[in-house]
Amino acid sequence: MSTAYLEVPTILDRPEQRFPLDLGVRIPRIRDLLRNATHNQWNPATDVDWDALRPEDYTEEQRLGARYYWSRRAWSEYGAISESPTLQIRYCVGKFAPDMQLYFTLRSQEESRHAEACYRMAEKLGGYFEAPAKTEYQGAVATHGVRRAALDPDASLESTIAALVCAAEEIAFDVFRHLVEITPNPVARQICKFIMRDEVRHCAFGWHFIQSRLPHMTADEIENMRQAVITMIEKVELNGYHSAWLAPSSPSTEVEMAHDRLAWEAGLGAIVEELEKPIFAASLARIRAEMKNAWGIDIPMFRHHKYDTEI
Q: What is the pLDDT of residues 170-186, one digit of tens each?
A: 999 999 999 999 999 99
Q: By the 8 A CB rule, do 122 and 71 touch?
A: yes
What is the SS3 assignment for 96? Answer: coil
What is the distance between the alpha carbons of residues 10 and 41, in angstroms, rounded to a whole number? 34
Q: Is 194 domain-assigned?
A: yes
Q: Is 246 domain-assigned?
A: yes
* DSSP structure class, residue 125: T
What is the distance between the alpha carbons of residues 194 and 44, in angstroms, rounded to a whole number? 9
Mean pLDDT of 185-189: 98
What is the distance between the alpha carbons of residues 170 and 266, in angstroms, rounded to a whole number? 26
Q: Is the pLDDT reported for residue 15 higher than 90?
A: no
Q: Is 308 domain-assigned?
A: no
Residue 94 sits in a domain whose CATH number is 1.20.1260.10
What is the distance between the alpha carbons of residues 266 and 288, in angstroms, rounded to a whole number? 34
Name which of 135, 132, 149 is nearest 232 in CA terms.
149
Q: Helix H segments across the chain?
A: 28-39, 60-93, 98-124, 138-141, 146-151, 157-163, 170-182, 186-213, 219-231, 251-266, 273-295
- Max Cα distance, the chain (Å): 61
Neighbouring C-beta atoms of residue 56, cutoff 10 Å: 6
* DSSP structure class, residue 126: T
Q: Output 211 or 18, whichever has higher pLDDT.
A: 211
Give the CB-side neighbour count of residue 150, counting CA atoms within 13 A.
19
Name which of 189, 166, 306, 149 is nearest 243 in CA terms.
306
Predicted confidence at residue 84, as pLDDT, reads 84
Instruction: Render pLDDT for 209-268 as a digit per residue (tens, 0 to 9).
Output: 999 999 999 999 999 999 999 999 999 999 988 888 998 888 888 988 999 999 999 999
Predicted confidence at residue 137, as pLDDT, reads 52
What is the distance between the alpha carbons of residues 104 and 84, in angstroms, rounded to a whole number? 7
Q: Is 156 domain-assigned?
A: yes
Q: Could you give phi then psi for residue 259, rounded to 5 degrees?
A: -60, -45
Q: Is the pLDDT reported for residue 33 higher than 60?
A: yes
What is the distance between the alpha carbons of residues 98 and 28, in angstroms, rounded to a whole number? 11
What is the distance between the alpha carbons of residues 246 and 238, in angstroms, rounded to a whole number? 6
Q: Could you give phi then psi for residue 41, rounded to 5 degrees?
A: -70, 150
Predicted confidence at residue 157, as pLDDT, reads 93
Q: Which residues contact 220 (CB under 8 A, 6 or more apart)?
A: none
Q: Is 307 domain-assigned?
A: no
Highest mean pLDDT pick, 5-19, 24-38, 82-96, 242-256: 24-38
Q: Is 101 domain-assigned?
A: yes
Predicted confidence at residue 143, as pLDDT, reads 53
Q: Is 195 domain-assigned?
A: yes
What is the distance between the alpha carbons of residues 107 and 198, in angstroms, rounded to a whole number? 8
Domain residues for the domain of 152 are 56-295
- When divided into structural domains, the chain yields a total of 1
Q: What average pLDDT is seen over the chain? A: 90
Name which of 201, 191, 184, 188 is nearest 43 in CA terms.
191
Name which of 174, 304, 176, 290 is nearest 233 in CA terms.
304
pLDDT band at 162 (very low <50, low <70, confident <90, very high): very high
Q: Is the pLDDT reported for residue 122 higher than 90?
A: yes
Can you state the angle between helices 170-182 and 273-295, rounded to 10 degrees?
140
Predicted confidence at residue 2, as pLDDT, reads 45
Q: Is 72 domain-assigned?
A: yes
Can you state the angle between helices 273-295 and 219-231, rounded to 10 degrees?
180
What is the distance between the alpha carbons of residues 268 and 274, in angstroms, rounded to a whole number? 17
